[in-house]
């Protein structure tokens, strides 16, 4: 079943923020908190600095009305810098690969900062874009 969620970026304090949100909404994380050290190494990818290995790769928390709040820590070692505009993303989780392609192609048209749709190690067909109005979109079709 398709859904929409909110994806947040933090600069090393995702876990702290999400423990706070967990106490506010009185809910539990959906599945375990994934760490950067859980990411399989990719060809050409430099090793993570020790301090970033325990950073959060992914966390999900139900908040209200079926909405899921999700997040990750940005990595300074990869040049990521948190700023207003890249800290919040609308995450679309369509029911099919075809619908994912259609939405991605429509929303990325005339936009920028695109990470093309691709198969990812966590079993999803995933990508991101910034639309022509400056809104960040993430696409995550679970196969």
Residues 6+ apart with CB under 8 A from 137: 89, 90, 91, 92, 103, 104, 107, 108, 128, 129, 130, 131
The rounded mean pLDDT for the chain is: 91
3-class DSSP state for residue 70? Answer: strand
Q: Round to whole Å and give the CA distance between 104 and 126.
A: 10
CB–CB of 77/53 below 8 Å?
Answer: no
Res 93: pLDDT: 92
Query: Residue ranges of the domains in the chain?
Result: 3-142
Q: Which residues pair with 125 in a beta bridge?
A: 119, 141
Considering the four listed CATH numbers 3.40.50.720, 1.20.810.10, 3.10.180.10, 3.30.465.10, the one that applies to the domain covering 3-142 is: 3.10.180.10
In this prediction, residues 123-130 reach a mean pLDDT of 94
pLDDT reading at 58 higher than 90: yes
In this prediction, residues 84-104 reach a mean pLDDT of 91
Res 133: pLDDT: 80
pLDDT reading at 114 higher than 90: no
Share of the chain above pLDDT 90, in %: 66
């Amino acid at each position: 079943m398709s859904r929409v969620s909110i994806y947040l970026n933090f600069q090393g304090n995702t876990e702290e923020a999400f423990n706070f949100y967990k106490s506010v909404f009185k809910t539990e994380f959906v599945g375990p908190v994934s760490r950067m050290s859980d990411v399989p190494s990719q060809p050409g990818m430099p090793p993570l600095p020790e301090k970033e290995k325990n950073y959060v790769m992914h966390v999900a928390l139900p908040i209200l009305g079926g909405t899921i709040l999700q997040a990750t820590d940005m990595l300074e070692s990869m040049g990521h810098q948190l700023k207003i505009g890249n800290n919040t993303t609308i995450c679309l989780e369509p029911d099919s690969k075809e619908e994912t392609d259609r939405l991605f192609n429509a929303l990325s048209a005339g936009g920028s900062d695109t990470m093309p749709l691709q198969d990812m190690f966590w079993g999803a067909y995933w990508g991101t874009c910034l639309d022509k109005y400056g809104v960040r979109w993430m696409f995550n079709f679970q196969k």
